[in-house]
Structure 1
Amino acid sequence: MTDVEVLKRRIIREIDSRKQELIELCSSLIRIPSENPPGDSTEISRFIAGYLKQFGFQVDFYEPKERMYNLVAGYGRDEGKHLILCGHTDVVPAGDPFKWNFPPFSGEVKDGWILGRGASDMKGGLSGIIFAVSLLKRLNLELPGKITLAIVPDEETGGKYGVPFLLENGIIHGDGCLIAEPSSPLNPTIGQKGAFWFKLTVFGEPGHGSLSPVAGRNAIADAIKAIAKIQELWELPIPVPDEVKPIIARTKRYMKEVEKLDENYQKVLERITVNVGTISGGTKSNVIPESCTVEVDCRLPFGITHEKVAEHLHRELDGLGIRYQMETFGFRGNANFTPPDDPVCRAVIRNISSVTGEEAYGVLQWASSDARHFRAHRIPVLQYGPAHLPSIHGYNEKVAVEDVLRCAKVYALAAIDFLFSSSR
């Protein structure tokens, strides 16, 4: 019978003694550009496969779209519990290199920080799960279950070629999943708001600009009326289900104590947020515009579905007497969560507290992620990863060395606890 606590202490010592290897792995991943778009993961996928193969892993490649590679590698046995550790290789574009204080794909380690695009989102976490699983294998541990690494290429654009492809084709499955997405050091994400992205095209009647508003019909003016109705979604009262009220309360505490956000920000947990992200219309100033198109990102709280939001918007827009067409694109899904007492949540939260010596608890995320796909396939999931949150998707992105080290420890210890636990 394995003494789990003795084993976990051994793992901590091994990770500390191999710290430099972990740092170099993270730096190496950052030095490989993997911006999405365009979404070419060839180089970074080959590097990761080479790293894993040197320790005896079989790595399977899946290419649902040209140059977008999913990597799947496992360790353990099919009997017993099955844990998925997931991460994505793609990063958002670096943007103007002259606005960075260092080369965007530097990977340099300086003053306790690892520097470069993707350091926090999410090559710090990606290096942590790869390192943790490879270390467990190198220690020749006989696991009572199995760990699967699922490394995907298509998260930053919300695409279908990563996690959705693997799940829908039955390539991966599990009793629990940990995604190494950026999070607060003590607060893994156990739930997300829903998302409803849509494009609204408003139609008018062209004419000479000198005769407006007498002649024709101005599509931009009608679109402005529509936008006003769309923005009223923020004021729509949403009944919060009782089952999520305790998690919302903890998340408000987190927003106040950790994020230092005032009560105004806390409202986003229980309301529909509305961002009119793009608008385009007309041909020139002296022509009455025939059409105008706006793209909108709404994030949905628990208590309402994207179907209900669409129905509400159609009623409101129909009442304006305008001609329009509404179609969805990108993210679409309802708010979702994993109960904090689920075994995978307990294993991760317990070991965050163990490694840090501080209280840890799960919170809701006011954005969306690949976690929704796992929950749609009835796989309990949460997110936890190293990050300097203010730098994500911005210039001068970085991650603290000690955060990467801490998360790698949590990944390895949580995997041990989860797999050796008898509860399913």
Structure 2
Amino acid sequence: MNKTELKQMLINEVENNKDELIELCSSLIQIPSENPPGDSTEISNFVADYLKKYDLGVEWHESSDKMYNLVSSIGDEDGKHLIYCGHTDVVPAGDLKKWDFDPFSGEVKDGWMLGRGASDMKAGLTGLIFAFSLLKRLNVQLPGKLSLAIVPDEETGGDFGVPWLLENGIIEGDGCLIAEPSSPLNPTIGQKGSYWFELEVFGEPGHGSLSPLAGKNAISDAVKAIHEIEKLWELEIEVPDEIKPLIEVSQRYMREVEKDRVKFQPVLEHVTVNVGTIEGGTKSNVIPESCKVQVDCRLPFGISEEEVTSFIEEKLNALNIDYTIRAFGFRSTANYTDAQDPVCKAITDNISFVTGKESYGVMQWASSDARHFRDYNIPVLQYGPAYLPSIHGYNEKVKVEQIVTCAKVYIAAVVDFLYTK
């Protein structure tokens, strides 16, 4: 059996067993694994028990209280090594009254899988687990190693999932596929950087009836500072030449595929600025002596966190205000994997093989665990089933057909990646 015949056989097996695939996805959605609080005990036990049914050994790694990383491997240790990666945590369901259905029902209705995590990313995680177990059940003799890494702590940007596994040398490989939500034909192979910071502005308290002649109003100064910080968007940034093809194809994607995103094309080349929270003052009749503002900036290729900080400081120093800046949360530089890397080719080629349609990698304007793999020189991309408008919102859902398609791509990509030297 040649590679093409093997891939087609595996794709047929996914199709023949798709009812089990969908049932597994429903079961995962029915397990609340909201983060916060981040307790992955129940869902980790379920996944481990499922794998053990097919004689797949599972390593447990508790990185923090009730946060479990599961790792399982099959194949030849001496060959190439591909990592399947997915997270078990989901964002909180929020106000249940705003859902049209039980967010933890895992119900299938009118061709849609319903529930919290359906798109982000229990459908993708299901596809990885199912493809991994199917290779074992079919006794496919892989000429390389395939590892399944299931992590607990992605949605809060925490350190107890992928970063913890990499830092402790528990996983390493020649390529990685993360089943994060993506467009059906366009995996994400690059990401903007992230820079979250808190600006604290200091004033002098006084009686509100004497403002602005008395005291120094920290909130007023913070408003002036925000106005200057928002000028980051106006910066002209020189994108490195090697990145320009990725920017261009990503903008093409926004014009031709996700057409509702046409207006967002500029975000790929600009620093975005979101003033997310502001807190200051004690009472309306007291001049506030402090004000805290939290800002989320996403950085394109061509600019660093240090350069952004320098720009902000130059602008704020000119205001003659008293302030400090403290970085927190998501922090990374823009990063990508070359479209011609074997792991990217394995996915895009097999999206085309399964669907008969053109596939190409694009850039993501947000961040994920992919950046951590790239920090360890592991080529990585993201591809998973999703209804993108529903992610992190009410009434999250994904098309059942897409769950099946992605699982077929996952299992076929293993063949192309591991059987190619």
Q: Could you say what secondary structure the match of 1:75 adopts? A: strand
TM-score by length of 1: 0.98
Question: Whole-Å Cα distance in 1 between the matches of residues 12 and 325 of structure 2?
Answer: 57
Question: Whole-Å Cα distance in 2 between the matches of residues 57 and 219 of structure 1?
Answer: 59
Match of 2:406 in 1: 407
Deviations 1:205-236 (A, max 9, x none): 00000010111000000000110011000001
Question: Whole-Å Cα distance in 1 between the matches of residues 378 and 365 of structure 2?
Answer: 21
Match of 2:371 in 1: 372
Q: Could you say what secondary structure the match of 2:39 adopts? A: coil
> What value does the CA root-mean-square deviation take over the aligned residues?
0.8
State the shift of 1:82 in Å.
0.1
Match of 2:249 in 1: 250
Q: 1:246 to 1:224 in 2, by over 3 A?
A: same
Match of 2:233 in 1: 234
Correspondence 1:125 to 2:120: no
Q: Which moved more, 1:309-318 or 1:267-276?
A: 309-318
Q: Could you say what secondary structure the match of 1:114 adopts? A: strand
Question: Whole-Å Cα distance in 2 between the matches of residues 75 and 191 of structure 1?
Answer: 28
Moved over 4 A (4+): none
Q: Could you say what secondary structure the match of 2:195 adopts? A: strand
Question: Whole-Å Cα distance in 2 between the matches of residues 9 and 355 of structure 1?
Answer: 9
Match of 2:114 in 1: 115
Alignment of structure 1 residues 8-407 onto 2, 5 Å? 8-261=7-260, 263-407=262-406
Q: How many residues align?
A: 421
Question: Whole-Å Cα distance in 2 between the matches of residues 266 and 150 of structure 1?
Answer: 33
Question: Whole-Å Cα distance in 2 between the matches of residues 421 and 262 of structure 1?
Answer: 36
Q: What amino acid maps onto 2:85 in structure 1?
A: C
Q: What amino acid maps onto 1:292 in structure 2?
A: C
Q: What amino acid maps onto 1:132 in structure 2?
A: A
Deviations 1:249-300 (A, max 9, x none): 1100100111114653100000000000000000000000010000000000
Question: Whole-Å Cα distance in 2 between the matches of residues 408 and 202 of structure 1?
Answer: 51
Deviations 1:156-189 (A, max 9, x none): 0001000000001100000000000000000000
Q: Could you say what secondary structure the match of 2:276 adopts? A: strand
Q: What amino acid maps onto 1:213 in structure 2?
A: P
Question: Whole-Å Cα distance in 2 between the matches of residues 33 and 311 of structure 1?
Answer: 43
Question: Whole-Å Cα distance in 2 between the matches of residues 10 and 253 of structure 1?
Answer: 34
State the shift of 1:397 in Å.
0.4
Q: Could you say what secondary structure the match of 2:102 adopts? A: coil
Question: Whole-Å Cα distance in 2 between the matches of residues 264 and 228 of structure 1?
Answer: 23
Deviations 1:345-374 (A, max 9, x none): 011000000101000000000001100000
Q: Which runs of 5+ in 1 are unaligned?
A: none
Q: Could you say what secondary structure the match of 1:307 adopts? A: helix
Q: What amino acid maps onto 1:29 in structure 2?
A: L
Taking only the aligned residue pairs, the percentage that are identical comes to: 68
Question: Whole-Å Cα distance in 1 between the matches of residues 50 and 305 of structure 2?
Answer: 42
Q: What amino acid maps onto 1:142 in structure 2?
A: Q
State the shift of 1:313 in Å.
1.2
Q: What amino acid maps onto 1:122 in structure 2?
A: M
State the shift of 1:315 in Å.
1.6
Question: Whole-Å Cα distance in 2 between the matches of residues 55 and 326 of structure 1?
Answer: 52
State the shift of 1:314 in Å.
1.4
Question: Whole-Å Cα distance in 1 between the matches of residues 353 and 200 of structure 2?
Answer: 53
Deviations 1:309-362 (A, max 9, x none): 112211211111111111011100110000000000011000000101000000
Q: What amino acid maps onto 1:268 in structure 2?
A: V
State the shift of 1:421 in Å.
0.4
Question: Whole-Å Cα distance in 1 between the matches of residues 116 and 37 of structure 2?
Answer: 15
Question: Whole-Å Cα distance in 1 between the matches of residues 225 and 372 of structure 2?
Answer: 32
